[in-house]
Amino acid sequence: MDSNANLPTLPTAGELSQAVELYLRCAYAGAAIPPPVAARILPIRDAPPDECVRPGWFETSVKNGRTIYQLRLGQPNYPHMKLNLEPAPDGSAYLYMADAHDSHLHPGPKAAEQPALAKLRADNARLAAEIERAWVQAGLPTFRGWLRQTLTRRQKDEG
Q: What is the pLDDT of residues 84-126, one digit of tens each?
A: 999 998 888 899 999 986 665 556 666 667 667 778 888 989 9
How far lies 70's CA from each of 63, 85, 152, in Å? 12, 6, 29
Q: Tell me what percent of the chain is helix, strand and coil, each rounded to the nearest 5.
A: 45, 20, 35
Angle formed at CA 148 by CA 142 and CA 150, multiple of 5 degrees = 100
Q: pTM, whole model, 2 decimals?
A: 0.85
**pLDDT at position 63:** 84
Average pLDDT, the chain: 87
What's the pLDDT score for residue 13? Answer: 97
